[in-house]
Chain A
Amino acid sequence: MMHFMLLFSRQGKLRLQKWYVAHPEKTRKKITRELVTTILSRKPKMCSFLEWRDLKVVYKRYASLYFCCAIEQQDNELLTLEIIHRYVELLDKYFGSVCELDIIFNFEKAYFILDELLLGGEVQETSKKNVLKAIAAQDLLQEEETPQGFFEDHGLG
């Protein structure tokens, strides 16, 4: 079972955090700081797995973003790398060639997509088609609703 997933930039800025095991906010920050520092200090050719406390940390860098997951001892490291990759593919497909800014400005979407891929720290749906279908169904519901905030956001509200 995955314990958490963190996305952070090369500058160490956290872009997304998903916790599947409850920790107090303070602990979360501490863990994040620790892992961001450790991972950023590793060299490119090094292995993608780390022993960390009782867990295994699997990470991979995509352009300016690091994706980092903590899994349990019995979990499969290589396949965790591919969960990360599948997530990246989904983001890429959804945003059309995703970049860090997409995730910053549409962070809620990034969460919704992740919730379709993983639930409770386990893989829910590995088919790219099916995940995108689910997200599309959400967007469809959205479009049916009138964007009533439109005017306000143009300074008329």
Chain B
Amino acid sequence: MPAARGDGMRGLAVFISDIRNCKSKEAEIKRINKELANIRSKFKGDKTLDGYQKKKYVCKLLFIFLLGHDIDFGHMEAVNLLSSNKYTEKQIGYLFISVLVNTNSDLIRLIIQSIKNDLTSRNPVHVNLALQCIANIGSKEMAEAFATDIPRLLVSGETIDVVKQSAALCLLRLFRTHPEIIPCGEWTSRIIHLLNDQHMGVVTAACSLIEALVKRSPDEYKGCVSLAVSRLSRIVTSSYTDLQDYTYYFVPAPWLSVKLLRLLQNYPPPEDPGVRGRLNECLETILNKAQEPPKSKKVQHSNAKNAVLFEAISLIIHSDSEPNLLVRACNQLGQFLTHRETNLRYLALESMCLLAASEFSHEAVKKHQETVINALKTERDVSVRQRAVDLLYAMCDRSNAEEIVQEMLHYLETADYSIREEMVLKIAILAEKYATDYSWYVDVILNLIRMAGDHVSEEVWYRVIQIVVNREDVQGYAAKTVFEALQAPACHENMVKVGGYILGEFGNLIAGDSRSSPAVQFRLLHSKYHLCSVATRALLLSTYIKFVNLFPEIKPQIQEVFKQDSNIRSADAELQQRASEYLRLSVVASTDVLATVLEEMPPFPERESSILAILKKKKPGRTVDPLDVKDQAEGAVGSAAAGNTGGVGVSVNSQQQQQRQQNGQTTDLLVDVLGDIYSSPPQGGGGGVPTQNNFTKNNLGTGDGGTQPVDNLKKLSWKNNGVLFENDLLQIGVKAEYRANLGRMTLFYGNKTAFPMLGFNPSVSCAGELASKVSVQVKPVESTVEAGAQVQQLINMECVEDFTEYPSLVLTFMYNSVQQKLNLKLPLTINKFFEATDMNAETFFARWKNLGGAQQESQRIFKAAFPMDINATSAKLSGFGMQLLKGIDPNQDNFVCAAILHTKSQQIGCLLRLEPNRQAQMYRLTVRASKESVAKQMSELLSEHF
């Protein structure tokens, strides 16, 4: 047992030794329980413990906790230690609560008090202990309690350096939990000027703080650019002896350099030519130094030096304005591609991906194609190979596509399972994007299916079919190729699907050849039939009925297949239905009818490749579009929606057609919604339509330029589509449809910023009574919303009984490492389940009279909140889902409406009369319904809107 240093808590050391000597997990648990019992009794005992004992026991508890056991006592004793006048006791107390504190704990107030005392201590060691504790806990309570003390400590002239360092990072931590804590105005320049501080440690700490603040309000902190450049320049030009202990293995201040370079990546290149020139000089010097012989053989030297170099290259890529620097950066990275350090090869591949996206360096990157392909073949670490795949994808263009795709296909055969699916997507995208000859494209995709069929997602084979259907010139070739591919004795099911579909559409193009005559095609396909899943069989049945149309000569054979028990009496309803309907169709329909029903598929509407959207979704933040995809992608903010191309329909069977129409509709619908959302003028403030360019400026801006949050909950009670909520980060659009007691709502979450939202979790719930009245079914969404992207969430709802509350939508996500939370409500009100009901005057009055009981009527008189315009009022009433009945009320000015509310259990009639009084600018609203609560709720809802 090594001697414990310093104060040496022997009891603790003995205990740790005991634990280490335990032969089994059980023995360890036994020993721990014994110790816990002992400590518990000491804490409860009559004998008061002195500080040392408390410290020792608290430390033991901490050790037990760190071993992975739960600790549910000792907090009070730890808090007591905080006010000890012995430093070691205080320190252990702080450590315990930093590790084990529960922010809801009642003790937090006591803790805060102790910290306050220590913050004002004259001993800087105590002050730092307190600051470290605040930073370690970093809760909202802490932020609120110390919102004034810490900024003051940071900029005060009396604060010594070590305390300033801690204060800067402590403030940063609190800013991340509670952004409001940072004061504006005069503080800004004082914080910025910390970059000029004498003490390198202070500058390093302050630099982290400033970067976070810059992200929040770039304009306010613009002044930091020139200071950062001159500081960087001083470091870069200094010799390694100048900076003494801040030189790390002969590299002057690598941490500070990297932070400054990072900070500058928040801004475009400096406008001031002097500053810009100085910055470029720095970057050049860094690139030059990379070429110098190393000052040490130690890996620390090379790591630190290259860390600065990579950060400089990041800045060069970020600025994307100095062709000379970009090309030099590319050459430098090229050298690393063959470096013996795996880490450097990995990072070089990663950085080069970004360089490939710049027009200035794209060509320079392409020079390294050979090396990268070689990396793909020889690297032993899969994560490095993955990077090589990424880079090949990024450097691909029309000139090298065939070769790159070929290499990637080749690699796919031996690729690790973990990256196959992504590779398949990438190959499919490149093949489609750069195909000059579509027969090449078809070959590539069929190769994909052949080699990695399991990893070919639905979208990939949907896509190849869409393209073949849309391009007449490739149809014959496609039919021939799939026919050949199907000859293989063992064929992947995806191949059968593609083959089945293509032959069904274009089999006639190869039927002239006796080797692929209709009967041969049919036998070939049908030989696979029994090995396939239900979905594929269903597809094949559709192919067969298409054959009946294309090749009447094999009709009897096909009818035989339909008639087989395994089809017409299949246990699967879909197969059974198809078999019997197709059979019937083949019997009753005349040739003309058959030809019309089974006409060739019309071309699919051109849209962004659905697979590109999937890749983006799969690899948020890392997918670099091949060069010229960029423009295209910018136009399609809602690529997710565009990607929703639905399945590949079959132009048969009325039911299917209907389905396809519905699919088509949803697609259009979504596009419409996007149109709605993005073309509607921004509401409530000068934020501007969130185009790609604006995203960068909008980030986090709670400042001047930002949009006011919009909350349209009320308005959406009489509209089904629109923007529900909008702030600077996020826009939530809603589109809903209702039929009887059922509703389907789609929420569109649009990330307006230039950063991804992580851990994105919208949770919809019906609290309390509402739970039994409305049932909701919510589809989950991806946990990441990319910068500028939009995700959809589908919610199915059923009205069980009439209700009054709104379902709640609680949205949480991480943005820029800050947890965000929004509490919203879903615009679901009972009138959504209204069916407008038309009736004549007689019926209306009869019903009105029937509902004459006091329980059934709710009346309100209220002041007009909007201009009393007849058209607007009529539109709103219809929007509420009621039928406006004209010419019924003797007074022309009055409005009379009727509707039926559908709930699962019953239907409730609802009638309304709205009487405006123009002189008084008042309304009288009378609602009658067969259920009291409905009348009340409707009058309440309606009264806010006129």
Contact = CB atoms under 8 A, between A and B. Distances in A.
Given A122-B169, A138-B125, A153 B200 contact: no
Contact of A82 (B92, B256, B307): B307
Given A46-B381, A47-B343, A105-B16, A120 B135 contact: yes
A149 B246 CA distance: 40
A119 B166 contact: yes
B10 A82 contact: no
B165 A124 contact: yes
A63 interface: no
Interface in B1-46: 1-2, 4-11, 13, 16, 20
A51 interface: yes
Contacts of A120: 135-136, 138, 169-170, 172-173, 176
A40 interface: no
Contacts of A134: 125, 128, 162
* Most chain B beta-carbon neighbours within 10 Å: one of A1, A16, A29, A82: A82
Nearest to B309: A78
Contacts of A157: 53
B672 to A, nearest CB: 33
Interface string B277-313: 0000000000000000000000010011011001100
Nearest to B92: A108
B95 interface: yes
A152 interface: yes
A142 B342 contact: no
Contact of B91 (A79, A129, A138): A138
Contacts of A37: none
Interface in B121-144: 123, 125, 128, 131-132, 135-136, 138
Interface residues of A, number: 67
A43 B53 CA distance: 46
A62 interface: no
A122 B9 CA distance: 31
A115 to B, nearest CB: 5
A109 B5 contact: yes
B113 interface: no
Given A76-B311, A108-B62, A142-B87, A147 B7 contact: yes
A119 B381 contact: no
Contacts of B88: 141-142, 145
Contact of B346 (A21, A49, A72, A127): A49
A105 B20 CA distance: 10
Interface string A72-93: 1110111101100110000000
Nearest to B132: A115
Interface in B458-511: none
* Most chain B beta-carbon neighbours within 10 Å: one of A51, A82, A119: A119
B222 to A, nearest CB: 20
B86 A47 contact: no
A25 B69 CA distance: 10
Contact of B86 (A104, A112, A124, A145): A145
Interface string A119-140: 1111111111110001001110
A95 to B, nearest CB: 7
Contacts of B530: none
Contacts of B311: 76
**SS class of chain B's interface: helix, strand, loop or mixed?**
helix
Interface stretch (B201-209, B730-738, B867-875): B201-209
Contacts of A129: 245
Contact of A127 (B70, B132, B173, B246): B246
A130 B384 CA distance: 38
B561 interface: no
A31 B783 CA distance: 17
A148 B52 contact: yes
B246 A126 contact: yes
A119 B248 CA distance: 20
A74 B817 CA distance: 12
B2 A102 contact: yes
B59 interface: yes
B855 interface: no
A72 B307 contact: no
A120 B258 CA distance: 18
Interface string B168-206: 011011001000000000000000000000001100110
A45 interface: yes
Nearest to A22: B138
A147 B8 contact: yes
B758 interface: yes
B245 A142 contact: no
B245 A107 contact: no
B848 interface: no
Interface of B: 1-2, 4-11, 13, 16, 20, 50, 52-53, 56, 59, 62-63, 66, 68, 70, 86-88, 91-92, 95, 123, 125, 128, 131-132, 135-136, 138, 162, 165-166, 169-170, 172-173, 176, 200-201, 204-205, 208, 244-246, 248, 253-256, 258-259, 262, 265, 300, 303-304, 306-307, 310-311, 342-343, 345-347, 380-381, 383-384, 620-621, 756, 758, 784, 817
25 contacts: A14-B68, A46-B381, A47-B343, A47-B384, A49-B343, A51-B383, A74-B265, A76-B311, A77-B343, A79-B303, A105-B2, A105-B16, A108-B62, A109-B6, A119-B131, A119-B173, A123-B255, A125-B162, A126-B253, A127-B245, A134-B128, A143-B6, A145-B87, A149-B53, A157-B53
Given A54-B620, A130-B201, 12 more contacts: A47-B346, A82-B254, A82-B303, A108-B95, A115-B132, A120-B135, A124-B166, A127-B201, A130-B162, A137-B125, A149-B9, A157-B53
